[in-house]
Amino acid sequence: MEHWILGEKAFNVEKLRHAETIFTIGNGYLSTRGVFEEGLAGEERTTFLHGVFDAAPVVFTELANAPDWLDLQLWLNGERFNLGEGDLLAYERHLDMQNALLTRRLTWRSPNGLTCELLFERFASLAQPHQLFQRVQVKPLNGAVTLQAQASLSSEADNNGLKHWHHLKQHAGSEQAWLLCRTRESGVELAAGFNLMVEAKTAVKIAGWNVQGRPTLAVDCQAAAGETVTIEKQAVIYTNRDTADPLQSMLKTLASPARWAEAWPAHQAAWQAEWLRSDVMIEGDAEAQLAVRFSLYHLLIAAPRQDDRVSIGAKTLSGLGYRGHVFWDTETFMLPFFTYNRPEVARNLLSYRWHTLPGARRKAARNGYQGAQFAWESAATGDEVTPTWVPHFADSTRLVRIWTGDIEIHISADVAYAVLQYWRATGDDVFMLDRGAEIVLETAAFWASRVEWVEDLKRYEISDIIGPDEYHDHVDNNAYTNYLVRWHLQQAIGLVDWLAEHAPERLKELGQNLDLSSAALAGWQKAADLIYCPFDPQTGIIEQFDGFFERQEVDLAALEPRDISVQALFGIDETCATQVLKQPDVLMLLYMLPDLLGPEVLRANYNYYTPRTDHTFGSSLGPSIQAVMACQMGDVAEAYDHFMRAARADLRDVRGNAGDGIHGASAGGLWQAVVFGFAGLRLTEAGPQVSPRLPAGWKRVAFTINWRGQELKFEVMPNEPQA
Ligand code: IFM
């Protein structure tokens, strides 16, 4: 069990929300934050199901917090168990990431002096994704106890006070309770129910209470000192996204009650199979090992295995941050892990973009362009759902205009890039023909209509946008965007040639909805040939956008020590006037297109942009990729610092916002930093090759890659003998 356990040795109410995020459990269908069964003031109690969005003010749409399947209240000799009262004599909580099992063990002395040992356990079955299991054991230590327990489900679940559920039906019988509810605007029907099973030495009474909107089962039993009472719950959830009649599906599952011990082996076996394909072993660095497993665990619990109409939001399913919206974080940062380990999950994630093409077409058309323009923030339909005005981070009485939904447009190229990388890694022609090609070509058509011809300069430009570095908005010719657009258009033209040769019928079909005439393709070619891609041959530096070199230089070292971002320190407009970067997007570009300009150009840009980046408090997406780039520069010690910055983002809450949910991009980036950075994996036409550059102390790195249908195992040792 070495380096599989994420533990908490003491209860710290100050760290409540952070702990809830990191102790989230899930199974790719839903995730539940690590809240306490009995509840606690200030908690953020959420269970999110993929795809269950509902309308919300400001953010347009958000994942609706589902009825809470964990709720369990205990009364011990009439005193309600809760951590806000009595004394906590012992406490320990741990997440076993190998088996996705969360355990809390404690000894509590009630205000009246009864001392009890309590053990709480839960898992969301990976083998049966609609089934969730909870077990609670109560053992009085210094006297007999009359135990009363209440387990309920409630359609009053809310998102920070906003209620999404309309109550339809409920039932509370003996040993079983359920409810049926529907989201208020989007019409998602959800059926949730549970079986309750209690084991005690004395007689147990279970009564159903049909409290309106809150079906409850109430348990009464006794235990002598030293005797244990065990309460088990098997909860079941279905929605009409999964089945035509969620109530019937839920009731059918509940009709064959499964005990914890019966469900556990299949769940455990499913996780064993996951880790066999996905684990990354790091010998010689316990913190790095735990952090990488923690990241992979969070990607795996968020990975939709059965549903290809959903994707993973920027904060996975582990918190209210970004409301479940999907960004480029998924394709650019998380997807490579899935492409090379779980290609079927990668295919689902990319299929989400295919299903949401209608929304992307609407966005392009609304803006006066051809083809498909992906939303910067996307949810159920693919329509743009980025909020336009939000409260200022330092003064909530002021509103700030958010421009990303209007002008952060690189996402359309990022998605196409991800499709092409997936195709290259898997050789999955079926996906490419059915779905991938449409994504790549529709977005190429968007670019061909979006580029602007500048007659004086006889070139195409792209003005008034935001690149990945969001400290600078309303810029012209963001290099990341322009270079990637050129690459995208070239690839799209190559893809049309490939289709003409291998699948002419499919090409014809695609040509019915999209102009793929020779004139249109000549336009794409012209745009690719003549789009302005900044580059200074004297210095080898790519200017991040027009006029970047004239912006004000800042000595970042002189601002230390600080615990806030440069943007929070200087202000939004003031930061925009400087050369400080939230994320170095020229380096990101050179990472994505490594053969673009050669190692000297990479070195020049690395040296130029690295000291200008707000590495610690800028974008959480930056450090992992910076680690890869530092490895490529041969600076492994520097790479390790960036890597640890990403590794600690959620584990240690270095940015102070882990309570909002896991930084999914940072988690995916961490995998890339190990595999493409320290192990130096390159996927060449001659096959995968590694050139290791392991940090001091790392003795061995082992991982598996799925390359064109073959599972390849890599074991990487340091180049030089370790001291
Ligand atoms: O997609 C990112 C963006 O690059 C930086 N701001 C946060 C977004 C969501 O993680």
How far away, in angstroms, is 231 Cα from ligand 1 center?
42
Task: Find out whether 68 and 47 touch, Cβ atoms under 8 Å.
Answer: yes
> Which residue out of 378, 621, 650 has the highest number of ligand 1 atoms within 8 Å of its CB and is therefore the one to mutate?
621
Query: Does the annotation mark 470 as catalytic?
Result: yes
- Which pLDDT does position 722 carry in this prediction? 40
| Rounded distance between C-alpha atoms, residue 34 and residue 29, angstroms | 16
Strand partners, 581: 613
Atom of ligand 1 nearest to the CA of 582: 5
Q: Residue 440 forms beta bridges with which residues?
A: none
Contacts by 696-701, CB closer than 8 A, 24 or more apart: 696/636, 696/637, 696/640, 696/722, 696/723, 697/284, 697/285, 697/722, 698/282, 698/283, 698/284, 698/285, 698/288, 699/283, 699/284, 700/281, 700/282, 700/283, 700/284, 701/280, 701/281, 701/282, 701/283, 701/674
Ligand 1 atom closest to the Cα of residue 328 is 1
> Which residue has a Cα nearest atom 6 of ligand 1?
619
Q: Which of 232, 278, 206 is nearest to 131 (CA)?
A: 232
Distance 277 CA to ligand 1 centre (A): 29
Provide the token pair at 357. 């093409």
Residue 467 alpha carbon to ligand 1 centre in Å: 11
pLDDT at 1: 64
Dist. CA 496 → ligand 1 center (Å): 32
Cα 681 from Cα 669, distance rounded (Å) = 14
CA of 351 relative to ligand 1 center, distance in Å: 21
- Alpha carbon of 329 to ligand 1 centroid (Å): 7
Which atom of ligand 1 approaches the CA of 665 most closely?
10
Q: Give CA–CA dist 400/387, Å, rounded.
A: 10
Atom index in ligand 1 nearest the CA of residue 664 equals 10
- Rounded distance between C-alpha atoms, residue 530 and residue 201, angstroms: 81
Give CA–CA dist 331/334, Å, rounded.
6
Contact yes or no for 480/589 (Cβ under 8 A): yes
Residue 376 Cα, ligand 1 centroid: separation in angstroms? 10
Give the pLDDT of residue 256: 94
Length of the chain, in residues: 723
**How far, in Å, from the CA of 626 to the mean position of ligand 1?**
16
- For residue 212, the tally of other CB atoms under 10 A from its CB is 8
Q: What is the DSSP string of 655-719?
A: TS-GGG---HHHHHHHHHIIIIIIS--EEETTEEE----PPTT--EEEEEEEETTEEEEEEE--S
Residue 302 has which token pair?
């968020």
Marked catalytic residue, from 38, 274, 442, 470: 470
| Atom 4 of ligand 1, residue of closest alpha carbon | 468
What superfamily would CATH give domain 5-274?
A: Glycoside hydrolase, family 65, N-terminal domain (2.70.98.40)
pLDDT of residue 723: 36
Closest C-alpha to 656, from 24, 21, 32: 21
Of all protein residues, the one whose alpha carbon is nearest to atom 7 of ligand 1 is 619
Atom of ligand 1 nearest to the CA of 329: 1
CA distance 577 to 572: 9
3 state SS of 96: strand
**Through-space distance between the first and last CA atoms of the chain, rounded to whole angstroms:** 27
Rounded to the nearest angstrom, the distance between the alpha carbon of 172 and the centre of ligand 1 is: 44
Which of the listed residues 322, 326, 327, 466 should we mutate to test ligand 1's pocket, taking the one with most ligand atoms within 8 A of CB? 327
110: closest CA among 102, 101, 118?
A: 118
Pocket of ligand 1 (CB under 6 A): 314, 327-329, 468, 470, 619, 621, 665
Question: Quick one: tokens of 326?
Answer: 């999907």
CA distance 187 to 52: 9
Ligand 1 pocket test: which of 329, 333, 626 has the largest number of ligand atoms within 8 Å of its C-beta? 329
| 0.85 surpassed by pTM | yes
Question: Over the range 436-472, which residues count as b (16 or more CB within 10 Å of their CB) and which as e?
Answer: bbbbbbbbbbbbbbbbeeeeeeebbbbeebbbbbbbb
Between CA 196 and CA 202 the distance in angstroms is 17
Q: Whose CA is nearest to atom 10 of ligand 1?
A: 314
Query: Residues spanned by CATH 2.70.98.40 within the chain?
Result: 5-274
| Segments of the chain scoring below 70 in pLDDT | 1, 720-723
Which three-class secondary structure string do you get for 383-410?
CCCCCCEEECCCCCCCEEECCHHHHCCC
For residue 75, the one-letter residue type is: W
Classify residue 212 by its DSSP letter: T
Closest CA to 278 of 356, 351, 216, 339: 339
Atom of ligand 1 nearest to the CA of 314: 10
Work out the number of other CB atoms within 10 angstroms of the CB of residue 598. Answer: 11
Name the residue of 470, 657, 666 to mutate for ligand 1: max ligand atoms within 8 A of Cβ: 470
Tokens 């009595």, residue? Answer: 86
Contact 446, 411 (CB under 8 A): no
CA–centroid distance, 209 to ligand 1, in Å, is 46
pLDDT for residue 296: 98
Residue nearest to atom 5 of ligand 1 (CA): 619
Closest atom of ligand 1 to CA, residue 663: 10
How far apart are the C-alpha atoms of 635 and 641, rounded to whole Å? 10
Task: Name the nearest CA neighbour of 357 among 336, 342, 340, 378.
Answer: 378
So what's the pLDDT on residue 63? 98
CATH of 278-716, one of 3.20.20.70, 1.10.150.240, 1.50.10.10, 3.40.640.10: 1.50.10.10
Q: Which residues contact 150 (CB under 8 A, 6 or more apart)?
A: 72, 73, 209, 216, 217, 218, 219
Sequence ranges of the chain with CATH classification 1.50.10.10: 278-716
Helix (H) or strand (E) holding 519: helix 518-530
Residue nearest to atom 9 of ligand 1 (CA): 314
Please state the φ and ψ torsions of residue 286, each to the nearest 5 degrees: -60, -40
In a 3-state reduction of DSSP, which class is residue 557?
A: helix
The Å distance, Cα 101 to ligand 1 centre, comes to 30
The residue to mutate among 473, 619, 620, 662, having the most atoms of ligand 1 within 8 angstroms of its beta carbon, is 619
